[in-house]
Structure 1
């Protein structure tokens, strides 16, 4: 087990906390069944986006993001693969002009964290685009997340490149607050984190390195310092990881593993 530790910083009017594990991902002992054949229905990947490359640490990240944003309304931008996210989540996004970007090949905050950049999309205009397609093809999409299963679906949408990234914006519930969030991510001028988050928002960027030379990270931003809350969560997840690694020999099949992922992550996939 490699303890989760965040580095604290302040930038552009918000508190920023970064977890940059490099090669030392949080879970260091893995279930051997990840390298064996799985049943055809519920698998580590379908349920938790866990496979034999991006392993149990992914469940830790998903649980961490969901627990950190408890009590708030959650919205996500799955980077680039807007159309696939719409298919998997079964809902249309709000279109915005800006999204967050992390360079997954870098291992230091100064080089890795690029902040807000113009939105992108895999959707192409085609040879004869409609006016709507021409205007909106390249924009990012913000999707509401109702349960942890939605967060997994958003991650599924982007796990197809050398790295995968989803950005979660958690704000006070209600349509008016979401309208303010979406408005802050629109327009020709690059927004600052403070403008996007307001006085009540929490932002979490989850990036997963899939290919060799690409690395995971969690980047958290908030108008108020979250270090006490992060310290509580990292301590709790440390205990969960330790218990998981000690109990590996008791996992005999995929259902056992899926139950273990619920304990490891600290969340139930279908709970709000």
Structure 2
């Protein structure tokens, strides 16, 4: 790689980095102003304070809302990963009648907007008495995320050397043992990436939360933020503080697992 290419690459990275960090910096500087301070443009606060965070936290009840979001995310991730792993393993290694047709129908879920399934989901879950509970949101999200998860894991298992399966079969290993003791350890980075994506998607879910959960105290943080914005449209410091409170856990989770996330994405790109 020439010096010009390296400089161009670094310049592009700097531009992308600035595009990500500047909005966060603007939010932080706005949130450090006292609540009710009129703001115009990007400027440093004259008297930085955390009062906006405290007032936004207590006014919106973000403690309960963040706990609800964490409950949904931690419920969706393991259940969705298990379902995606089992489906991907079946489509990648097993031969059964109608396999390609079933997989093709499953992939149709990637092309259909999930908004089209909101109304049927609501009535189905209401008939089971599950609406207005975190269980309804968890089950709905697991089902909606299955097409992508099954496709992702099928590609990971298909890319592995077939000699692994043959060697395990010669040793007398069962299908269950082959999956969990041989294949899953090989695709652990991809599983971590998929789990992180599931958590981010579940945390940021908005429409399903509004429809399936009507009690304000049972809503998730993004839904609570939407109602908070509607009630404090002119208080920019409080709005900025509330936004940072909601996106903070997502940023922390990503920073903790960023190496695994990148490893899984690179692994999938190379194998694909």
TM-score, normalised via structure 2 length: 0.25
Say which structure, 1 or 2, has more relative contact order (CA 8 Å, 6+ apart).
2
The structure with the greater share of residues assigned to helix is: 2
**Greater Rg, structure 1 or structure 2?**
2
